[in-house]
Amino acid sequence: MEGFYIERKIKRLGKSMHLLVYGSPDAMPVLYFPDETGFCSSANDNGIIDSVAHLIERNKVQIICCDGIDRDAILSSSPDKARRAELQEDYYRAVVEEFLPILYTVNHTNMKTILAGCGIGASQALITFLRNPDVFSGVVAIGGNYDLKSFFGGWCNDSLYLNSPCDFMRNITRRHRFFKYFPTSSIYICSGKNQANEPGLSSMRALDEIFCIKRISNAHFDYWGYDVTPTYDWYRKMFAYYLPFALEDQYRRIQLSGTGA
């Protein structure tokens, strides 16, 4: 499917980054995070966009794919763990402070954005959503790892803590100012049960337990079969399955509220 590129200098990261946009500016926006390559084109290159082309063509969704920096941060082999954690926090802040305003220039609705991704992109999507449930309407996270300490050999500092959902969600109470937004959010988190999904699968189970303890009952944690591996063959099926649910949730809430947002 054809999309159009946007290139912008991102001050927080000190370099140019790209967005790749598919669909009508009058449809619900979805910000899609890339795989480990870091390229905004990875979703299209691996068939994710084609898997939901019918939704794009019917003006149900506009998908904005962004670049990533995971090879320099989370996935880097550099022994400087503090710098890697700092880069991850910089990326998170770049998404919220600089990518999102760009998104608003290409989407003409007042609808809140759904975040999505597969693999490491799912990790980034969930981190960003859970830290900003007042800004974003939901998340579709497929095959991610939500305990970022596992990329750092168990090491953690304040920056990494803020980017590790299994850690910061454990300490959020119902009195937290963000907590009231979770019940109206669309939260879909999925993984296969094949051993190849580890350690992400274990992190998902841990997060599932945390959500149960916090009584965030509208979050969907789905575990597909033991034959389901972390590959694009499955990612495409999962994304095409869950994205319509997230869109339907939000369109229904907009209709019930009588507003555009």
Task: Count structural domains, the chain.
Answer: 1
User: Which pLDDT belongs to residue 256?
Assistant: 84
pLDDT for res 260: 52
Domain that holds residue 207: 4-255
CATH number reported for the structural domain that contains residue 226 in this entry: 3.40.50.1820
Count CB-CB contacts under 10 A for residue 197: 23
Is 203 a domain residue?
Answer: yes
Identify whether 126 is part of a domain.
Answer: yes
Q: Which residues, other chains included, contact 148 with Cβ-Cβ below 8 Å and sequence gap of 6+? A: 74, 88, 123, 160, 163, 164, 167
The answer as to whether 183 is a domain residue is yes
pLDDT in tens, the chain (261 residues): 889 999 999 999 999 999 999 999 999 999 999 999 999 999 999 999 999 999 999 999 999 999 999 999 999 999 999 999 999 999 999 999 999 999 999 999 999 999 999 999 999 999 999 999 999 999 999 999 999 999 999 999 999 999 999 999 999 998 898 999 999 999 999 999 999 999 999 999 999 999 999 999 999 999 999 999 999 999 999 999 999 999 999 999 988 877 555
Return the pLDDT at 261: 57
Does residue 208 sit within a domain?
yes
What's residue 258's pLDDT? 72
| Residue 260 belongs to some domain of the structure | no
Considering the domain boundaries, does residue 161 fall inside one?
A: yes
As beta bridge partners, residue 190 has 142, 222
pLDDT at residue number 255: 86
Q: State residue 167's pLDDT score.
A: 98
User: Is 128 among the domain residues?
Assistant: yes
On whether the CB atoms of residues 116 and 31 are closer than 8 A, the answer is yes
pLDDT at 259: 58
* String of DSSP letters for the chain: ---EEEEEEETTTTEEEEEEEES-TTSEEEEEE--TT--TTHHHHTTHHHHTHHHHHTTSEEEEEE---GGGTTT---S-HHHHHHHHHHHHHHIIIIIHHHHHHH--S-PPEEEEEETHHHHHHHHHHHH-TTTEEEEEEES----GGGGGTT---HHHHTT-HHHHGGG--TTSTTGGGGGGSEEEEEE--SGGGTTHHHHHHHHHHHHHHHT-TT-EEEE--TT--SSHHHHHHHHHHHHHHHHHHHHHHHHHHTS--
Residue type, 258: G
Confirm whether 261 is domain-assigned: no
